[in-house]
Amino acid sequence: MSNITPFVYRYAPFSIRWLAVIAIVGMALFAMHGRPLPAVAQPGGLTAGAILDAPAAQYGWSLAETSTFSRTNVGIHQVIMVDNFDPQTNLDQMLDTIVAEMRERGARVIFVAPLPAAVSAPTAITAAYPDVVFIWNVGQREDVAVLLDSLAALVLDDNAVDGETDGASLSGSEGDAEESDSSAASELSSTTLFLMVALIAVSIMLFVWWRSINLTGAGESKHKRRKWSAGNAGVHTRALAIERAVAVRQTDFRAMRESTPLLHDLSTYVRGDRAFDESSGVETETNEYLGQCGVSRAKRANPYEPEKTAAVEVWLFDKHDINTVSFLLVSQHTYHDPELRAKLAEKHELVLAEEDAEMFLQTKTLRLRARVLDVQHGYDPNLPPGSFFEYIVVEVAVWQR
């Protein structure tokens, strides 16, 4: 990948486990030196917000309290809830007030369901709160629960990468934890510091070694290229969280008695990623370059709203073939609208984007299989239902013929 931040995001869970081991060993070292253990706040669950247009019960939530900004737990995570959100005037201002209050209470991720029709953003509200990840059109408790674990790892690790960890998303008191950290660090002996640095160095080497083995075994391309929308980290975080949540559903080709593909990867588009364009080099085990494949945006649902995508293109290039073959995965409305379908079908093969839909491409020396792992359409009252994707996850595998 061309961007180091998505790399850190994607493999955060493994590194967090190693950091947990380091923390335990460090505590043991303090005990061996006869020093009191520092009162350091440990990373906990994520604090999230949920803004719903109907009673929480309709979205599968059971609240112990019914006050404004009531709180409920989802596993180790905490969700701040505002339901029955339906202001008659100044909707943008009201939404901004709620988001500001949730952010003040520690929310780093906010779910909004559905996207209110009168909101002149989400672009404006997203820009106003760059440190908050917004998940639009997702409010069902089971959907939120699926995403929270992945989002927690991504958001908390994002703080570590940027050097700006926000105590509001960690368990414990921010001020007390920071003061304790500072005082404890000043009391460390040189021997303890040396041992801690050695442990960190060994852990990093083991992490790099393990990931290199895991990536090669999984068949993920070493030459994957992604274009990211500049200045919108929330889009990237959402894409990676969704991709991680559905990764367990990837095809097990060994169980299907299928040969191991030269390339096996996931491509995830989420609404708002205007520059979405992913491609991967296809190589043999001896690093011989055979071609390229990828997934990219192909058609807008509305020419005036570039963040709403109605079709993505899956393509395959073979260096031994003069033609690049492709097809379009299209939204429900695009597929069923005769005029739109006829216009696109002039140049492309069209496939309705629905879960588990399979498509195949073939060139002179390569064979590609694509499968839709998950797809969700967005909502806009000014457009027909099913006009654009909220997100879509496409599994791509390539073999040599």
* Range from 129-138, 198-207, 294-303, 335-344 carrying the lowest mean pLDDT: 198-207
User: How far is it, in rounded angstroms, from Cα 354 to Cα 372?
Assistant: 7
Of 349 and 180, more confident? 349
First CA to last CA distance, the chain: 27
Last residue of a domain, one of 216, 249, 284: 216
Domain-embedded: residue 301 = yes
Rg of the chain taking only CA atoms, in angstroms = 24
Highest mean pLDDT among 56-70, 133-147, 337-351: 337-351
Are 246 and 353 in a shared domain?
yes
Q: Quick one: pLDDT at residue 106?
A: 87
pLDDT in tens, 42-54: 356 788 998 888 8
Cis peptide before 114 (omega within 30 of 0): yes
Domain-embedded: residue 113 = yes
In the predicted structure, residue 11 carries a pLDDT above the cut 50: no
The per-residue pLDDT of the chain, averaged, comes to: 75
Q: Quick one: pLDDT at residue 91?
A: 62
In the predicted structure, residue 59 carries a pLDDT above the cut 80: yes
The answer, as to whether pTM is greater than 0.85, is: no
* Range from 195-199, 235-239, 252-256, 302-306 carrying the lowest mean pLDDT: 195-199
Are 128 and 82 in a shared domain?
yes
Of 396 and 247, more confident? 396
Question: 314: which strand partners?
Answer: 295, 327
* Range from 134-143, 194-203, 269-278 carrying the lowest mean pLDDT: 194-203
Highest mean pLDDT among 105-109, 206-210, 290-294: 290-294
Question: 280: which strand partners?
Answer: 293
Domain-embedded: residue 167 = no
Are 271 and 314 in a shared domain?
yes
Are 248 and 362 in a shared domain?
yes
Residues 6+ apart with CB under 8 A from 148: 45, 46, 48, 74, 75, 77, 109
Are 260 and 211 in a shared domain?
no
Total of domains in the chain? 3
Average pLDDT over residues 355-375: 94
In the predicted structure, residue 248 carries a pLDDT above the cut 60: yes
Of 70 and 192, more confident? 70
Q: Quick one: pLDDT at residue 198?
A: 72
Are 384 and 235 in a shared domain?
yes
What SS3 class is residue 328?
Answer: strand
Are 212 and 349 in a shared domain?
no
Last residue of a domain, one of 122, 144, 162: 162
Q: Could you give phi then psi for residue 234, rounded to 5 degrees?
A: -60, -35
Are 250 and 388 in a shared domain?
yes
Which residue range forms the structural domain that includes residue 77?
Answer: 47-162
pLDDT in tens, 102-154: 988 888 888 888 765 555 546 677 778 888 888 888 888 888 888 888 787 77
Of all residues in the chain, what percent carry a pLDDT higher than 70?
66
Domain-embedded: residue 118 = yes
Q: Quick one: pLDDT at residue 73?
A: 87
Highest mean pLDDT among 102-106, 137-141, 263-267, 301-305: 263-267
Are 315 and 248 in a shared domain?
yes
Domain-embedded: residue 312 = yes
Domain-embedded: residue 148 = yes
Are 200 and 153 in a shared domain?
no
Q: Quick one: pLDDT at residue 127?
A: 78
Are 210 and 273 in a shared domain?
no
Are 123 and 9 in a shared domain?
no
Average pLDDT over residues 194-211: 66
Residues 6+ apart with CB under 8 A from 240: 6, 9, 10, 150, 154, 268
